Amino acid sequence: MSHEKNKRIHRIKRHARVRAKISGSAKRPRIAVFKSNQYVYAQVIDDEVGKTLMSVSNYAGKKSKTKTKKSQGASKVGESLAEKMKEAGISKAVFDRGGFKFHGRVKAVAEGLRKGGIKL
Residues 36-84 have pLDDT tens digits of: 999 999 999 999 999 999 999 998 766 666 778 899 999 999 999 999 9
Query: Is the pLDDT assigned to residue 105 strictly greater than 80?
Result: yes
Give the model's confidence band at 25: pLDDT under 50 very low, under 70 low, under 90 confident, else very high.
Answer: confident
Distances (CA, A) of 9 to 1, 63, 75, 79, 99: 11, 30, 27, 30, 10
Give the model's pLDDT for residue 67.
74
pLDDT at residue 104 greater than cutoff 80: yes
Statement: residue 11 has pLDDT above 70:
yes
Architecture, CATH, for domain 3-115: 2-Layer Sandwich (3.30)
pLDDT for 63 equals 64
Q: Write b or e for each residue in 61-96: b if 16 or more Cβ atoms lie within 10 A of its Cβ, otherwise e.
A: eeeeeeeeebbebbbbbbbbbbebbeeeebeebbbb
Model-wide pTM > 0.85? yes
51-57 and 40-46: which strand pairing?
antiparallel
C-alpha separations of 41 from 1, 2, 3, 6 in Å: 28, 26, 24, 22
pLDDT for the residue numbered 64: 63
- pLDDT confidence of residue 5: 87
Q: Where are the domains of the chain?
A: 3-115
Give pLDDT, residue 65: 64
CA dist 31 and 102 (Å) reads 14
pLDDT score of 83: 95
Contact 81, 42 (CB under 8 A): yes
Question: To the nearest whole percent, how much of the chain has pLDDT over 90?
Answer: 78
